[in-house]
Amino acid sequence: MTALPKTPFLGVAYYPEHWPEERWKIDADLLHEAGVDVARMMEFAWDKLEPESGEFDFAWMDKALTIFQEAGISVVLCTPTPTPPPWLTSQYPDILRVDDKTGQRAVAGSRRHACCNVPAYRDFSAKIVKAVAERYGDHPNVVAWQIDNEFGCHGTVRCVCDYCRAEFQKWCERKYKTLDALNAAWGTQFWSATYHKWSEIPVPAPTSASHNPGLLLDYRRFSSDSWVSYQKMQIDLLRQYIGERPITHNFMLRFFDLNYRDFAADLDIVSYDNYPHGMSGPSECAFNLDLMRGLKRKNFWIIEQQTGHVNWTPFNPPAPPGQVRTWTHQAFAHGVDAVFYFRERAVNIGQEQYHAGLLKHDGTPDRGWHESKQVKADLAERPALTRPQAPVAILWDYEDLWTFELEPHNSAFSYYREALDLYRTCWDQNIPVDILARDADLTGYETVFVPSPALIDEAQVQKWRSYVEAGGNLVVLFRAFFKNPGSTWSDQPMPAGGLSDLLGMTVDEFLSIPLVPNVGLRPPIDKADDWNDDRGSHVNDVSARPGIGFGENFGLPTKTRYQLWAEVLKPTTATAILRYSDGYYKDGVAATANKVGQGTAYYLGCWCDPILPRVLWQALGLQKHVVTSDVRGAVTEIVKLVDETGQNVDVLLNHTKHTVTLPETSK
Amino acid sequence: MTALPKTPFLGVAYYPEHWPEERWKIDADLLHEAGVDVARMMEFAWDKLEPESGEFDFAWMDKALTIFQEAGISVVLCTPTPTPPPWLTSQYPDILRVDDKTGQRAVAGSRRHACCNVPAYRDFSAKIVKAVAERYGDHPNVVAWQIDNEFGCHGTVRCVCDYCRAEFQKWCERKYKTLDALNAAWGTQFWSATYHKWSEIPVPAPTSASHNPGLLLDYRRFSSDSWVSYQKMQIDLLRQYIGERPITHNFMLRFFDLNYRDFAADLDIVSYDNYPHGMSGPSECAFNLDLMRGLKRKNFWIIEQQTGHVNWTPFNPPAPPGQVRTWTHQAFAHGVDAVFYFRERAVNIGQEQYHAGLLKHDGTPDRGWHESKQVKADLAERPALTRPQAPVAILWDYEDLWTFELEPHNSAFSYYREALDLYRTCWDQNIPVDILARDADLTGYETVFVPSPALIDEAQVQKWRSYVEAGGNLVVLFRAFFKNPGSTWSDQPMPAGGLSDLLGMTVDEFLSIPLVPNVGLRPPIDKADDWNDDRGSHVNDVSARPGIGFGENFGLPTKTRYQLWAEVLKPTTATAILRYSDGYYKDGVAATANKVGQGTAYYLGCWCDPILPRVLWQALGLQKHVVTSDVRGAVTEIVKLVDETGQNVDVLLNHTKHTVTLPETSK
Amino acid sequence: MTALPKTPFLGVAYYPEHWPEERWKIDADLLHEAGVDVARMMEFAWDKLEPESGEFDFAWMDKALTIFQEAGISVVLCTPTPTPPPWLTSQYPDILRVDDKTGQRAVAGSRRHACCNVPAYRDFSAKIVKAVAERYGDHPNVVAWQIDNEFGCHGTVRCVCDYCRAEFQKWCERKYKTLDALNAAWGTQFWSATYHKWSEIPVPAPTSASHNPGLLLDYRRFSSDSWVSYQKMQIDLLRQYIGERPITHNFMLRFFDLNYRDFAADLDIVSYDNYPHGMSGPSECAFNLDLMRGLKRKNFWIIEQQTGHVNWTPFNPPAPPGQVRTWTHQAFAHGVDAVFYFRERAVNIGQEQYHAGLLKHDGTPDRGWHESKQVKADLAERPALTRPQAPVAILWDYEDLWTFELEPHNSAFSYYREALDLYRTCWDQNIPVDILARDADLTGYETVFVPSPALIDEAQVQKWRSYVEAGGNLVVLFRAFFKNPGSTWSDQPMPAGGLSDLLGMTVDEFLSIPLVPNVGLRPPIDKADDWNDDRGSHVNDVSARPGIGFGENFGLPTKTRYQLWAEVLKPTTATAILRYSDGYYKDGVAATANKVGQGTAYYLGCWCDPILPRVLWQALGLQKHVVTSDVRGAVTEIVKLVDETGQNVDVLLNHTKHTVTLPETSK
């Protein structure tokens, strides 16, 4: 078996089925010239591999593998299950999913139109996976496998077909054992929804008002679990044939319908599809890279990266010169072992014809091809670098996100944005951040941020206490520990589950702050000057407080604005470090610090703007990790890596389209 | 039977099924301490009362009633029919409504998911109503009953299921007797829709273009009638068991899908759910209060009032200190006999967890609890007050509203806003207003406004003529009397049906005025500078006209802007009092006054801004009813009430969040 | 047979079924007095003509025809098929269409609710057409026939019912003969959609992601063809009974779901429904008129024109005095032989009651009636005028439009707007333009613009080459010749199919330019100042270039902005005439000129603003066709016509609502 290339390496998505056979060798050579070591193939090729039910055609794929092997390019093969072919959906139309937002069954002719809970889809998926695994499991040029492609894309995670309904009822029975337990967990006595038979439990298809939040949260869990189980079925099958070859699946940006931690647990390598044009800028790119690295706390792959314009945003602008190269190096600097470009060539058929590739539609090199070649040259000059553990961690939890997504209370409230705001505050100052699971081992971190941990977990409090006692800084943000696992509200003050003891405070009142000057629902034509509402205003640092280690007065303004969410706190053992400077809750406490053992547990009760007020920044000692740049007028990201000798190496990334000249001292 | 408390009194919504039994007594005592005399219970408790078909469990409710009785709180019981339980919808899935906007059948798991025209829902509703009536009809602590809860909420009035279709066809047959009559009433020869069998009549589910406006208007009537009949079925059943106890149902703000007058006719008391955060400010709150009082022309209840933030607006801000107290006193000042707070405690389960209550999620008093207590103390100091008949009335008609909702011609035209604009003009000057049915007895009113009475009613004209002849001022606004009951257009000049004789004018031309500078449908990218359109401009007072009683020149500008709608009038016996000052219809008549007997009939042909131009304000003599306040910088509403000795008592309401200091003279 | 009146003449839509019989004579006389010579009748009267299946009632229509004949008004009769009556849809509910956007079947009660591929609808359509043709085919007062009414209005062209699916599969089989050919044309190996049976081919109902663009483009062709075939069925039936009488159908403004060229081919006369309030101004009106004239390259009819406000825009403003008259004369000036006003009288029943007519709801003359009379008087004074061939042509193609509509790449890109921008550039200077089919004979045109001809057609290139060689100026705009007929992308450089040889250039890179400063998909709350994108900037004229005939320097600024789309060009034999002045492609070529024989083939690679940069304007010599007006402060359109003696006659149209005084010299 060919081993994986030395990392970091370059790859590409290649679709032999899209091109005439006589082109394959030309492409392989062109791609090799561009520095590509590995090609990913086959994820949408079910109809070519199995043109009719049970009749397989591998000749073309055999040939493609041989040609690429001869060109010096090894291959990641994919199971082709995201696109059940017409013969399958025609014979088994039940396979087609029923959308939870519209209640309507999809027709065929697209991708991801299948429901993973339909036995026919599972069975035929298993057959094609077994067939390709038997054929290519020990192929000498196949170095890794990808399961399916982008589970859940196009909003397809949650189906409400009859199979899903039956499976959900079984899932509930496995989870809750008794209907009494389920009814209690969801609080079904609200609106008279007590279930006396498992078969009475509905799926959250469109209805008159909203569904029970416990049912909705469990349906998110169930739907994610369904795809986890579908992935696991494929992994277990594959593993019987492929030896030690690693298995991966490609995750998406800004995608939260699946619990990626559960998927990552069953995979050897996390892969990620990096499309910067789907994001607001390089800080959000960096956030998503660090989020992916944190899923298994190890290096990962970018198995798709745009090589020019994409085809799915409203305007799809070009990628100016140098940008593909920068994106690639940004990825490597954030712990990526391989960047696969998407795709070999702008495709001449199907739904993605307007997506750029390394080659143009006419088969000649596009700008991306030249940049790939340049990256390969860059890597040859570059020492081997590794990314050390960061001083700061942000804890990220899909179920907390779902909880707020289902009931935001404030339509502008976003768990994702909260975590991203925290991340950007550090990124802007080049402070490295790791993004970890909410229950991660926190050894070695100076500061840990916990954005709005909605769901109560008493066991977790113990871990956090140990971390703080050993000297850590734990910063918990508003809306913490108030929801039980079934999305019912605790009858204890917030934060519940023992967290208030660790933090030394409780929440006396929470306030949702309108984004717009608006009381309630008002059509735009109305005037509201006769009615006052409370919108976010300011908090004051409570300075010169002994025992916390800060309080020096720099002569800077001590007021900070806040927005969207505010809580008035009641300290018990904690000290106030921020107080509201106006509003009817003027002088109320907005943030606290609680010394516990060698460390401090902070609670930040309002969404400051910027999210970390000066008093916290100072208390956490973040200033010492700031890396500044001498480069002016450019968004320059500086990433601190270490080489094989342990020496620090700063990687500078120029995220503008302008050429930047480095001063001597920073070279 | 315990009698109702002395009015005004305070109440609360209480849900024993949401709390452990050991909490009931604690809550009852806390609520009693807060001044609560009555609790409303049971409206969503069907599944607790009848856990399986025909098997009833009253033990828990018996206990709750006893505990509250011991705590000194009497109870309003509700029929629990808005939430058919899972066992019922599972056995009879036809019960689930089919939405008229999407054509799709709801799934269970929410509330109001049932169609009232399905026999199974009617039958099982009758069974549970009979069961609770038998059990609690003469319970000594039950003082009143509420039917169901908020008929029609979440847009559920109109269902298009097969049962509704069959019922609608029968309803049409009862109404029109013959298909010829129906075809004539709707004008079905338009677009070839003549019906030759009752069974051919469709329901207004989604179709290619719009449905016939006569069918649409009748489907609104039919749907409203269906719920009226469902309510009546419950009332008739209840009455057999509950003696003289009053029956109510809770109406909603800004809700026009049901003809509330028809519902009110069958009820003893009107109840209203007062959620100020769903409105634009205190004037709209006041409008809705007066609208509710007018439904039966007697005092009513607020059976739900928010006690802090709600959970269903985009941002759900808090209610600052004092606001709950002010809302409560505003309600009393507008003729409310009881204010029930919603709800006892922020609920820890289900779909409304983010709604505030008198108690917090943790069971401790929230700000609303303290304000309830304060209101109780306020009431103890306050004399008994009654609200006298106002000098001004606005006539309000649900069918006129529907007529414009179905065919606004101008997308910004709103019957509700027109009535609200009229109301606000008075409210801003503290002039009391009653809101009455279009066919109400007008004895005693100085001035009566009739916002856009679309539907022709010849009998009505006679009543209005008598009113004017006896000295009244009748002010009819634009778009009057042009539609027959089946929503066909009169072939007489507007206003038809004899109204033009009373008003002494006809309409020569009507003009819809764009809100935006736009001719027709233009995408935003287009420029339109090469094309002129007519937007609202100005009218001039025609001053110094003899015989009307005004015409003095105050040196003020006599121009008033108008918007949205304008009509060029042809006076016959009337006098012009406003003329257009520009536009191609410059000098055309915009408003008229017609002396009839001792009074005057006015017609206002354009939507002025403000809606009442100075000339009308003067002619109507409204100035003498103005009440001014010495309080500066605050929205202060002053309501004139009378005490038991007949003395005037002014109630001052501070609608801001600022403390207001009254000058000595106004105390 | 009564002949058609001498052109130009006036007509009206008349609906006898909407009025009592005693009114018919009054109306006919009033309409005759207003100058109306022809009335159109019967298009929605199916239920009156055939009240029950197979039972016909012609008495009323006989009478109406007689009355109008006596009043001196001849008649255009319509087949009444857009409104299948309730008895038909009740018996054959499959007739009701299934919407391609929602996947839901319509209910009856509207119009255009039928699918033309359902045999029952075809059969019953044939029966009623045969019946009316037999009855009135040789009626002496019937002078022409209209098929149905506004095929496709309300977005009803594409149905996805089971009949359509079966017909589409047959259509595909007829077109492609073999599944291999179809699979190749659509590129179905993308996303595994290879079809092995015709019955596997889906219809484009809602699915998870998008459908194959080849399938989508063919479904547009198929759906258009289906209605063409439905029209043809009626034409063939009619022709057997009506002798030489012309047959027409009424087309709509801004309506592109049907390929009107195919419809026009089977018709004797094109008719058009002219509703200026649906457009942005008189230039767009003019564009649509010229588009209609070009469908058959001969004069046409306006068979509906608004006579006042319409009822289907957001605000529906009035038409000020003189506007109906102006619209009518604008139509005549653009080659219209007849203007039929819509409609006789504002209708008192049904869905269009708010639409103005020549008479008011009360039957008295409205402003439109007086203006019609004025137009008749104008015509009596006017010499007979004809519209000569224009010096400039724009080529327009429905399939190119569909191609971009399905895959715009840039959401603001619009083929229609591009053609309209070209047209307006000429219209603003009173240069006449003809709008022709893409494959039209171009003899006699000085300059021909080809807006973005997406679909490759090698045969076409030869025709264009001949045109240029003979001295013509051909101007091809960006996004040319890159898509094969099945909407797959050519593997040749753009423009492919031999067009690059004629133009002497290829496209090196294309850039989609965001309308807003936005990289990719960013929610509004995000900041993007850390990321640069490329938005449209400027191009420079490359002046003083020999051999092209321009290059003089007028001292004017030579920079022009561009927007939305830009291409960097590689000239082969052509000369650069525009270069980009900034962006990373600074100095790249933006437009080229290629001398071929006696003419020049231009390529414009970016959407300039205005769309024709000065360099092109000069090179094309357009200045000599400019007609200027001495009238200030008014949008005055000047149309050059010729009288019977061959003398030029300038028609001046005042499109403002202001009176304009002409200087002596222009009278």
Compute the mean pLDDT over every residue in chain A, rounded to the nearest whole number: 92
Q: Closest Cα partner for C373 from C72, C33, C40?
A: C33
- Could you report the per-residue pLDDT of A299-353, keeping only the tens digit for each? 999 999 999 999 998 889 899 899 999 999 999 999 999 999 999 999 999 999 9
Q: Does the beta-carbon distance from B48 to A189 stay under 8 Å?
A: yes
- Secondary structure E strands in C589-646: 589-596, 599-604, 606-609, 636-643
Q: Chain B partners of A525 at a C-beta cutoff of 8 Å? A: 412, 417
3-state secondary structure of C549: coil
| Closest by Cβ to C87, choosing from B196, B412, B523 | B196
- Could you report the per-residue pLDDT of A443-456, keeping only the tens digit for each? 999 999 999 999 99
Q: Does the beta-carbon distance from C315 to B412 stay under 8 Å?
A: yes
Q: Does the beta-carbon distance from C530 to A318 stay under 8 Å?
A: no
What backbone torsions phi and psi does residue B271 show, to the nearest 5 degrees?
-115, 160
Q: Does the beta-carbon distance from B362 to A207 stay under 8 Å?
A: no
Q: Closest Cα partner for C150 from C43, C59, C235, C70?
A: C43
Q: Chain B partners of A203 at a C-beta cutoff of 8 Å? A: 107
The answer for residues whose C-beta is within 8 angstroms of residue A288's C-beta and 6 or more apart is A253, A254, A272, A274, A279
From B157, which residue of chain A is nearest by alpha-carbon distance? A208
Active site positions of B, annotated? 150, 304
| Closest by Cβ to C191, choosing from A316, A351, A417 | A351
Residue B517: the pLDDT is: 52
From B496, which residue of chain C is nearest by alpha-carbon distance? C362
Helices B179-186, B162-176: inter-axial angle, 10-degree rounding: 100
- Could you report the per-residue pLDDT of A540-554, keeping only the tens digit for each? 766 434 333 333 444
Alpha-carbon Rg of chain A, whole angstroms?
27
Q: Does the beta-carbon distance from C280 to B526 stay under 8 Å?
A: yes
Separation between Cα atoms, residue A356 and residue A354, nearest integer Å: 6
Q: Does the beta-carbon distance from B17 to A207 stay under 8 Å?
A: no
Residue the block writes with tokens 């009337």: B574
| Closest by Cβ to B193, choosing from C80, C109, C320 | C109
| Tokens of residue B9, six digits | 């009194």
Q: Chain B partners of A516 at a C-beta cutoff of 8 Å? A: 315
What backbone torsions phi and psi does residue B76 show, to the nearest 5 degrees?
-100, 120
Count of CB atoms situated within 10 Å of the CB of A463: 15
Select the residue from C161, C182, C207 to test the A interface by mutation, using most A Cβ atoms within 10 A: C207
Q: Closest Cα partner for B605 from B475, B477, B422?
A: B477
Mean pLDDT, residues B70-85 taken together: 98
What backbone torsions phi and psi does residue B620 show, to the nearest 5 degrees?
-85, -10
Residue C524: the pLDDT is: 34
| Closest by Cβ to C280, choosing from B410, B513, B522 | B522
Instruction: Give the CB-side neighbour count of residue A665, counting CA atoms within 13 A.
Output: 4
From A285, which residue of chain C is nearest by alpha-carbon distance? C531
- Could you report the per-residue pLDDT of C225-283, keeping only the tens digit for each? 999 999 999 999 999 999 999 999 999 999 999 999 999 999 999 999 999 998 888 99
3-state secondary structure of B627: coil
% chain B with pLDDT above 90: 84
C284 part of the active site: no
Mean pLDDT, residues A229-233 taken together: 98
% chain A with pLDDT above 70: 92
* Structural domains in chain C, sorted by start: 9-152+217-385 (3.20.20.80), 392-625 (3.40.50.880), 637-666 (no CATH)
Select the residue from B110, B254, B359 to test the A interface by mutation, using most A Cβ atoms within 10 A: B110
Q: Closest Cα partner for B599 from B476, B462, B447, B478?
A: B447
C385-386 β-sheet, strand order: C385-386, C636-643, C648-654
The alpha helices in A2-142, defined as continuous H runs, are 21-33, 46-49, 59-70, 86-91, 119-136
pLDDT at A666 over 80: no
Q: What is the 3-state secondary structure (H, E, C) of C424-460?
A: HHHHCCCCCEEEEECCCCCCCCCEEEECCCCECCHHH
Confidence of residue A558 (pLDDT cuts 50, 70, 90): low
Residue B561: the pLDDT is: 85
Select the residue from C19, C315, C411 to test the B interface by mutation, using most B Cβ atoms within 10 A: C315
Confidence of residue B543 (pLDDT cuts 50, 70, 90): very low
From C533, which residue of chain A is nearest by alpha-carbon distance? A317
Q: Chain B partners of A533 at a C-beta cutoff of 8 Å? A: 317
Residue A103: the pLDDT is: 96
Phi-psi category of residue A350: left, alpha or beta, with phi > 0 → left and psi -120 to 50 → alpha: left
Residue the block writes with tokens 């505010």: A566
| Tokens of residue B590, six digits | 């915009």
Q: Which of A202-216, A468-482, C578-592 has the lowest mean pLDDT?
A: C578-592
- Could you report the per-residue pLDDT of B335-350, keeping only the tens digit for each? 999 999 999 999 999 9
Residue B658: the pLDDT is: 74
Separation between Cα atoms, residue A382 and residue C138, nearest integer Å: 91
CA-to-CA separations, A476 to A284, A290, A464, A592, in angstroms, rounded: 22, 20, 10, 10
pLDDT at A464 over 90: yes
pLDDT at B548 over 50: no
Confidence of residue A522 (pLDDT cuts 50, 70, 90): very low
Residue C584: the pLDDT is: 87
Q: What is the 3-state secondary structure (H, E, C) of B568-607?
A: EEEECCCEEEEEECCCCCCCCEEEEEEEECCEEEEEECEE
Separation between Cα atoms, residue C607 and residue C418, nearest integer Å: 8
Q: Does the beta-carbon distance from A110 to C515 stay under 8 Å?
A: no
3-state secondary structure of C127: helix
Residues of chain C whose pLDDT is less than 50?
1, 518-533, 543-557, 666-667
pLDDT at A556 over 50: no
Q: Does the beta-carbon distance from C209 to A277 stay under 8 Å?
A: no
Q: Does the beta-carbon distance from C193 to A85 stay under 8 Å?
A: yes
Select the residue from A315, A348, A425 to test the C interface by mutation, using most C Cβ atoms within 10 A: A315
* DSSP bridge partners of A649: A641
Separation between Cα atoms, residue B405 and residue C183, nearest integer Å: 50
Chain A adjacent subunits, 3+ CB pairs under 8 A: B, C
3-state secondary structure of B55: strand
Q: Chain B partners of C50 at a C-beta cutoff of 8 Å? A: none
What pairing do the DSSP bridges indicate for beta strands B385-386 and A575-580? unpaired
Count of CB atoms situated within 10 Å of the CB of C7: 13
Q: Chain B partners of A410 at a C-beta cutoff of 8 Å? A: 314-316
Q: Does the beta-carbon distance from B532 to C278 stay under 8 Å?
A: no
Residue B315: the pLDDT is: 87
Compute the mean pLDDT over every residue in chain B, rounded to the nearest whole number: 92
The answer for residues whose C-beta is within 8 angstroms of residue B441's C-beta and 6 or more apart is none
% chain C with pLDDT above 70: 92
Cβ C353 vs Cβ C346: under 8 Å: yes
Confidence of residue A516 (pLDDT cuts 50, 70, 90): low
C-alpha angle with apex C232: C227 to C234, nearest 5 degrees? 100
Which H or E run includes A525? Answer: none
| Closest by Cβ to A187, choosing from B52, B83, B348 | B348
The answer for residues whose C-beta is within 8 angstroms of residue C462's C-beta and 6 or more apart is none
Q: Does the beta-carbon distance from B409 to C352 stay under 8 Å?
A: no
- Name the catalytic one among A150, A284, A399, A418: A150
Confidence of residue A358 (pLDDT cuts 50, 70, 90): very high
Separation between Cα atoms, residue B112 and residue B108, nearest integer Å: 9
C637 part of the active site: no
Separation between Cα atoms, residue B475 and residue A387, nearest integer Å: 79
How many A/B residue pairs have CB atoms within 8 Å?
A: 212
Which H or E run includes B130? Answer: helix B119-136
Nearest-neighbour CA in chain C from A167: distance (Å): 22
Confidence of residue B525 (pLDDT cuts 50, 70, 90): very low
- Name the catalytic one among C43, C167, C284, C304: C304
Separation between Cα atoms, residue C567 and residue C481, nearest integer Å: 14
